[in-house]
């Protein structure tokens, strides 16, 4: 059974436009009704009253108004069948696939249907919605399902389907939701290179078998309510370039295995409840450009190994419980944004923090920093935003910043700024505010 997975959660989302459909037919209604009655005769139902509405009354009214779960278009042709939670048992072997060409919706969820899903399901070319979840369907998902080019929703959750997921599912160009979990499907890991399941209501932990989708390059699960820890196995995704798990409810510590993701350029773990120290191994992420760990409960110090992230441009560590000094090694980087505010960082600001020459935004406010503002900040002409407030910094602040001509709120050039600063502090209001609650100038 090594290759057979119980898919707990696999939903692919693809953006689509809703197809326009129209239908008209009245003449065929009775033929449709008769074909449904022939199928009904093969079904068993404990509660007779559900399908007992499926009869042809002598008045020859169509099934459209009186049959349980049947809806029609204005021409009296069947478009929807909803038998969800109807205690129906039986198979689809005698289902009148070719007699119901205008079907757009089938919802047979939560019944006792069993047997294979017939390949003729591919004949229902107008089908938009197919939910066969929570039944006992077995065998393979038919390849012909790939012919349903209008299908937007395919839910086959909680059956006994096995075999591989047919590649033809990749032909369902209108598909918005694909839910296959709780089956015995064999994962065709090679067909998955991008997995976008973001912005849903997923609440379970991230399944560890995602680590078996070895060819994944994008794994985006942000904006859900995912719980539990980040599986160690994600560190096996050697081709992963983008791992985005922000805005979830993830707990526990960041697995050091993520340091093995040599192709990773983006790691977004912000807005979770991650705790423990930041693994030193993240300093191995040679391709990393955008590392965002803000708004968690991370503690310990900022790893000095971050100084090895030679491609890093964006480093967000704000709003955690990080302590200890800011590693001098961060000065080796060519950062554009460095946000470290709202932590418990101590010691002084590294002298060389601006040396990369690209730093535009630096926030280190609301920490326990001491010492003076490094003189090197004078040369930090790229800065547009600087927030150092609420620390224990000392020193001659205006002098330190007299050269920061691009700082937000400064309209004058270097010389003018220098003149204004020492005389009238008002021009400096914007960033003086951001320096608030430090020691006054000496
Ligand atoms: C299905 O709808 C089409 C029009 O869209 C109509 O021509 C046809 O008769 C309908 N089929 C049945 C079986 O009612
Ligand atoms: C339907 O099938 C289930 C098991 O698959 C069985 O427990 C139940 O009794 C069946 N109901 C009817 C009406 O046959
Ligand atoms: C049978 O179905 C009817 C309506 O469809 C429902 O009111 C009734 O509770 C059901 N009985 C059982 C035993 O499920
Ligand atoms: C089928 O009916 C159930 C119960 O009324 C409803 O919850 C479900 O949304 C319906 N399915 C579709 C596809 O409309
Ligand atoms: C229905 O599908 C089967 C196989 O999937 C095919 O052989 C058959 O011709 C189709 N029938 C119609 C009426 O399209
Ligand atoms: C799916 O699309 C491929 C081309 O992308 C085509 O070769 C194949 O026949 C299609 N399969 C089905 C079942 O439509
Ligand atoms: C799928 O399950 C059926 C029984 O339902 C079994 O006969 C078949 O060998 C299984 N196929 C695979 C690929 O496991
Ligand atoms: C990854 O994709 C390549 C082709 O791009 C394929 O040859 C390989 O088998 C895939 N690996 C896995 C584990 O599916
Ligand atoms: C992942 O693949 C390994 C072999 O590469 C296998 O032993 C393991 O069972 C798979 N994991 C799951 C959850 O299927
Ligand atoms: C996060 O998980 C906690 C329990 O661990 C729960 O109380 C809370 O509602 C969850 N939050 C969200 C947004 O799901
Ligand atoms: C950088 O700071 C400027 C000015 O405050 C702001 O407009 C911009 O959004 C900031 N950029 C980032 C990436 O934080
Ligand atoms: C900048 O200051 C210098 C020296 O005072 C002055 O000559 C120049 O015109 C100023 N430039 C601007 C854009 O204000």
Q: How confident is the model over 155-193, as pLDDT tens digits? A: 998 899 988 777 777 678 777 777 777 777 765 444 455
CA 36 to ligand 3 centroid distance, Å? 21
In short, whether 28's Cβ falls inside 6 Å of ligand 1 is: yes
Paired residues of 393 in beta bridges? 371
Q: How far is the CA of 247 from the centre of ligand 10 (A)?
A: 12
Band (47; pLDDT cuts 50, 70, 90): low
Query: Which atom in ligand 4 lies closest to the alpha carbon of residue 106?
Result: 13
List the beta strands (DSSP E) in 116-175.
Answer: 129-131, 136-139, 153-155, 160-164
Calpha distance 371→364 (Å, rounded): 13
Q: In what order do the strands lie in the sheet with 392-394?
A: 323-325, 344-347, 368-372, 392-394
Residues 329, 353 contacting (CB under 8 angstroms): no
pLDDT of residue 291: 98
Report which bound ligand comes closest to the CA of 137.
Answer: 7
Note whether 133 and 157 are within 8 A (CB).
Answer: yes
Backbone Cα Rg of the chain:
31
Report pLDDT for 55: 85
Q: What is the mean pLDDT of residues 7-23?
A: 27
Q: Which atom of ligand 4 is nearest to the CA of 82?
A: 1
Is the Cβ atom of 99 under 6 angstroms away from ligand 5?
no
CA pair distance 210, 232, nearest whole angstrom = 10
Least confident of 5-19, 251-265, 389-403: 5-19
Pocket test for ligand 7, best of 139, 164, 188 (most atoms within 8 A of CB): 139
Task: For a ligand 7 pocket test, name from 4, 162, 186 the mutation site with the most ligand atoms within 8 angstroms of its C-beta.
Answer: 162
Residue 218, beta-bridge partner list = 194, 242
Q: Is 101 in the pocket of ligand 1 (CB under 6 A)?
A: yes
Atom 6 (ligand 8): residue with closest C-alpha?
190
**Which H/E stretch holds residue 112?**
strand 112-115
CB neighbour list of residue 420: distance below 8 Å, 6 or more residues apart? 412, 427, 428
Query: Of all protein residues, whose CA lies closest to atom 1 belonging to ligand 1?
Result: 102
185 CB less than 6 Å from ligand 9?
Answer: no
- Nearest ligand to the C-alpha of residue 74? 1
- Percent of the chain residues past pLDDT 70, beyond the cut: 76
Q: 21: pLDDT confidence band, cut at 50, 70 and 90? A: very low
Q: Which residue has the higher pLDDT, 224 or 346?
A: 346
- The span from the CA of 156 to the CA of 135, in Å, is 9
163 phi/psi in degrees, rounded to 5: 80, -170
pLDDT at 433 over 80: no
Q: How confident is the model at residue 272 (pLDDT cuts 50, 70, 90)?
A: very high
């Amino acid at each position: 059974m090594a290759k057979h997975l119980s898919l707990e959660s696999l939903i692919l989302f693809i953006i689509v436009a809703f197809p326009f459909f129209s239908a008209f037919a009245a003449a065929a209604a009775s033929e449709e009704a008769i074909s449904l009655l022939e199928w009904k005769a093969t079904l068993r139902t404990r509660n007779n009253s559900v399908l007992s509405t499926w009869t042809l009354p002598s008045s020859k009214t169509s099934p459209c108004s009186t049959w349980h779960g049947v809806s029609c278009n204005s021409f009296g042709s069947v478009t929807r069948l909803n038998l969800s939670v109807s205690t129906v048992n039986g198979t689809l072997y005698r289902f009148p696939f070719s007699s119901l060409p205008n079907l757009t919706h089938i919802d047979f969820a939560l019944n006792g249907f069993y047997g294979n899903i017939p390949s003729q399901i591919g004949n229902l070319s107008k089908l938009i919605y197919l939910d066969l979840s929570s039944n006992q369907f077995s065998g393979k998902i038919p390849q012909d399902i790939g012919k349903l080019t209008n299908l937007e929703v395919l839910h086959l959750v909680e059956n006994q389907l096995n075999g591989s997921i047919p590649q033809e599912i990749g032909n369902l160009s209108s598909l918005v939701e694909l839910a296959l979990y709780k089956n015995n499907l064999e994962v065709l890991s090679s067909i998955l290179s991008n997995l976008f399941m973001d912005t849903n209501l997923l609440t379970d932990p991230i399944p560890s078998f995602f680590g078996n989708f070895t060819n994944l390059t994008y794994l985006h699960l942000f904006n859900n309510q995912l719980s539990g820890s980040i599986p160690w196995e994600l560190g096996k995704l050697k081709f992963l370039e983008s791992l985005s798990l922000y805005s979830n409810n993830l707990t526990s510590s960041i697995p050091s295995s993520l340091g093995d993701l040599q192709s990773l350029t983006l790691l977004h773990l912000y807005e979770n409840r991650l705790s423990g120290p930041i693994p030193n191994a993240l300093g191995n992420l040679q391709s990393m450009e955008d590392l965002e760990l803000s708004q968690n409960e991370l503690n310990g110090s900022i790893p000095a190994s971050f100084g090895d992230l030679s491609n890093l441009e964006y480093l967000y560590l704000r709003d955690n419980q990080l302590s200890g000094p800011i590693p001098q090694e961060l000065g080796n980087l060519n950062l554009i944004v460095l946000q470290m505010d709202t932590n418990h960082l101590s010691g002084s600001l590294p002298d060389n923090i601006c040396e990369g020459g690209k730093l535009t935004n630096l926030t280190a406010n609301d920490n326990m920093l001491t010492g003076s503002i490094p003189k090197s900040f004078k040369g930090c002409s790229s800065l547009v935003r600087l927030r150092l407030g609420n620390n224990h910094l000392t020193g001659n602040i205006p002098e330190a910043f007299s050269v920061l001509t691009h700082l937000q709120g400064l309209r004058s050039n270097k010389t003018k700024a220098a003149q204004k600063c020492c005389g009238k502090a008002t021009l400096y209001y914007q960033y003086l505010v951001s320096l608030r609650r430090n020691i006054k100038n000496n």
